[in-house]
Structure 1
Amino acid sequence: MMKAIIDYVKKEVVLCISFVLAFVSMVFVPLDVQYISYIDFHTLTILFCLMLVMAGLRNLGIFSMIGSWMLEKTNNVRSLSIVLVLLCFVFSMLITNDVALITFVPFAIDVLTMASLENYLIPTIVLQTIASNLGSMLTPIGNPQNLYLYSLSGMSMGKFIALMLPYTLVSLIGVLVACVILIDNKAVAVKVQSPRKLTEKGKSKAIVYLLLFFFALASVAHIISVYIVGIVTLIVVFLMDRKMLGKPDYALLLTFVFLFVFIGNMKRIPEIHSWLNSMIHGHELLISVFASQVISNVPAAILLSGFTDNISALIVGTNLGGLGTIIASMASLISFKYYGATEGKRNLAYLGLFTLLNIIFLAVLLLLHYII
């Protein structure tokens, strides 16, 4: 029993820390009716809907099918790796950085291993991880902190994309340059295992999930109430594919709830609220970057948002803050976990290249921020 608890704490460190913070804050601010106002149900609902839809599409193998089709066009290691990296970069904008890595990193490992190209695993997976974290920053649905900050800011989707577009374009150029530098042009015949074909029932499910995805996008664009989308999505998935109800990352949703409670309570303690507000004001971007290195960018976004009105700076800062340490974006741990399960793994070499490239990308994008 104790071992199971310890294993769970190790697996969900951020959740456990957020729970402790919420619990301790309740000592200073006893439970009352104001607690319910802390919770951003809008963000939690749309995040849950997107998790359900992406789980359904991934379970059907839709993304692997697209990846297999694209890989058939490659004839050398560099073009192969570029395709694998760009799949993460582009799809992270729509299916979140976590789902992109869960989908395409195992796919990359299988493809490179079958082609006896294990020496290229580290640079390819590291670049896939960076690409997912950078591509995801362009859209409100690219990662959880974007969805939360976008909802909090009240800005339009067009304004959000315009804010992050310069960073995304420079990131794309950087990722492509890194692929050219790190991966040679060795010729290779890539044989991708044919993905399973969709049955008629599978095609029907895929169409429904895609419709639910666009339905969710409509709520992100403030066209339809998020709660209507939530009810419809829950009912449709329950009736059509109820096993998917167990797939969303409920630990992440609970982490949000605990952090909302902690922030809400901190704001009700005048001395702490005043101190944090004065410390963060005018330094939102750099503080969010540095905070992300220690607690990751999702908790950093939620914590700092309670003490500043400069949400645009937090959006940029927490997205750039996903670069750096292996925990700066929790999605990065997904890739590391998959690589760590491969035969002949070299974890120190992986972490060394990961850290070096992350620091370079972070420095370039921070420089871009101060230029523009």
Structure 2
Amino acid sequence: MRTIDFFKKDFIFTISLLLALIFSIFGKFDVTFIDLKTIFSLFGLMIVVKAFERLGILAVLAEKIIQLSKTTRHLVGYLILLSFFSSMFLTNDVAILSLIPIFITIVRKVKDFPNIAYSVVLFIMAANLGSSLLPFGNPQNLFLYSYYHLTIIQFISWMLPLALFSLIILFFLHLKIPKQTLSIQKKTSRPSFENKKLFLPGLSFLLMVLAVIGIVPYIYVVPLIFVAFFLGDKKVLAKLDYRLLGTFVFFFIIVGNLTEWEVLIDTLPAIFLHPLTSLFGAAFVSQVISNVPAAILIAPFGSEVQAVLLGVNVGGIGTLIASLANLIGFRLFQLYMPHLKVAFLKKFTWLNLLVFIVLLLASAIFICY
């Protein structure tokens, strides 16, 4: 039963494992299919992010936001900004995992908090869009940054217009939240952490940034960080989502086999030959298979790098399966507010569809001009 529960917990992991086994049996298993730099970098970043998460940094920031907020609109706006900017460094998944429970805790202390489902949809959207600006903000960026050997300046310059435009859209969308006076019925707990505990995660994060942008070799940095936490804080390593690493390995095996299919070899290069077709192709493929496997699938055929990057990042906005962060957000909201599940899905669908279309058209203008 425990084994069954393990596989039932993560649908994407289970499906990718089964497909990887099928492709390995009927195709081939080749270690060179696996991008070791992406796997190592992802592992190192996961350790650092989990360490920050255990310190409760986002919870402390959220507490400060509660103190600053005079109305419900102020609160939602500040949390959108926190989700947007924290996701650049702590990844979109962690931003969502941390902020939604905090928001729900606040909601339960405020009488008749308006537009709860709508607010959570905005938080998820902010995390997806904010994470697009930096290579380590989300897994697809980390992979594409490594695969195409980009520089950090080049990456940011390509993604900055999307991030800024997204922030403007989020600002206007949050205006729908009424300016209801915020009165907390019961004081929230005051989370805190010891500054000295920041040293190891802070130093590790700096080393990982240097490794991702190619200043120091990742092959030495990641094992060093692993050993440091193994000796200093084993609980961080115990709490890592190893299924995510496994899912990436399985994606690489699946896509490695797919890229040897003659029908794809003949078809995909033609689709991803031009900027607009690359942009729209990457965005729409993400809607169907999620943006991480879409990035891995498209990378060998996509010569228009900026368009592919924009496509998979815009592609995280859309369907519920377009991004793993979307599924995480939905599962969390369903856990805390099951009676609002239908309302959430309705708002998520129409709002994401609207923003997806707007950002896709805006991205088309960015790459054309």
Residue 218 and residue 344 in structure 1: after superposition, are their counterparts in 2 closer, same or farther (change >3 A)?
A: closer
Shift in Å, 1:46:
1.1
Q: Given that residues 111 and 192 in structure 1 are in contact (C-alpha distance below 8 angstroms), is that contact kept between their aligned partners in structure 2?
A: no
SS at match of 1:141: coil
1:153 aligns with 2:151: no
Describe the SS at the equivalent of 1:137. Answer: coil
Listed one character per residue, the Cα deviations across residues 229-252 of structure 1 (whole Å, up to 9, x for unaligned) are: 101110111111011112222111
CA distance in 2, matches of 1:335, 1:118: 19
Deviations 1:83-111 (A, max 9, x none): 11111011011100000001111001101
- CA deviations on 1:97-140 (whole Å, 9 max, x unpaired) are 00000111100110121122444321211110111111111111
Query: 1:43 and 1:357, CA in 2 relative to 1: closer, same or farther beyond 3 A?
Result: same
Query: Which amino acid in the other structure matches residue 218 of structure 2?
Result: V
Deviations 1:157-211 (A, max 9, x none): 111111111111111011111111x20111123465233332xxx4322121011
Which of the numbers 74, 92, 100 marks the counterpart of 1:97?
92
| 1:259 aligned partner | 251
Residue aligning to 1:229 = 221
- Pick the aligned partner of 1:53 from 34, 48, 51: 48
SS at match of 1:154: coil
> TM-score, normalised to structure 1's length?
0.92
1:26 counterpart = 2:24: yes
Q: Which residue of 2 aligns with 1:136?
A: 131
Q: Which amino acid aligns with 1:78?
A: R
Query: Which aligned pairs between 1:147-226 and structure 2 lie closer than 5 A?
Result: 147-180=142-175, 182-190=176-184, 193-198=188-193, 202-226=194-218
- Kept after mapping to 2: 8 A contact 1:339/1:345: no
**Structure 2 counterpart of 1:336:** 330
Once the two structures are TM-superposed, the CA of residue 68 in structure 1 deviates from its matched residue by 1.0
Question: How far is 1:38 from its partner?
Answer: 1.5
1:370 equivalent to 2:364? Answer: yes
SS of structure 1 residue aligned to 2:132 = helix
Q: CA deviation at 1:280?
A: 4.1
1:311 match: 305
Do the aligned residues in 1 keep the contact of 2:272 with 2:304 (CA within 8 Å)? no
Structure 1: distance between partners of 2:236 and 2:198: 13
Q: Which residue of 1 aligns with 2:115?
A: 120
Q: Taking structure 1 as reference, are residues 293 and 10 closer, same or farther at Cα in structure 2, changes over 3 Å only? A: farther
> How far, CA to CA, are the matches of 2:75 and 2:320 in structure 1?
25
Partner of 2:81: 86
Q: CA RMSD in A?
A: 1.9
The DSSP-based 3-state class of the residue aligned with 1:326 is coil
**Cα-to-partner distance string for 1:40-62 (whole Å, 9 max, x where unaligned):** 11111111111111111111112
Q: Percent of aligned pairs with the same residue?
A: 36
CA contact (8 A) 2:8 2:14 kept: no
State the AA in 2 paired with 1:336. Answer: F
Q: 1:76 aligns with which of 71, 74, 84?
A: 71
Residues 10-65 of structure 1: CA deviation (Å, up to 9, x unaligned): 4322222222332222234344xxx1222111111111111111111111112211
Instruction: Give yes or no for contact 1:122–1:350 (8 Å, CA) kept in 2.
Output: yes
Q: Is the 8 A contact 2:271 2:278 kept in 1?
A: no
Contact 1:97-1:132 at 8 Å conserved across structures:
yes
The answer to whether the 8 A contact 1:61-1:195 is kept is: no
> Is 1:345 aligned to residue 343 of structure 2?
no
- Please tell me whether the aligned partners of residues 285 and 316 of structure 1 are also in contact (alpha carbons under 8 angstroms): yes
128-137 or 18-27, larger mean C-alpha shift: 18-27
Counterpart secondary structure, 1:341: helix
Query: Relative to 1, partners in 2 of residues 1:24 and 1:175: Cα closer, same or farther, differing over 3 Å?
Result: same
> How many equivalent pairs are there?
363
> Is 2:98 the counterpart of 1:110?
no
TM-score with structure 2 length normalisation? 0.93
Which among 15, 34, 40 is matched to residue 17 of structure 1? Answer: 15
**What amino acid is aligned across from residue 16 of structure 2 in structure 1?**
S
Shift in alpha-carbon separation, 1:210–1:78, aligned structure 2, 3 A: same
Amino acid at match of 2:109: M
Q: Tell me if structure 1 keeps the 8 A contact 2:65–2:75.
A: no
Q: Distance in 2 between matches of 1:246 and 1:309?
A: 40
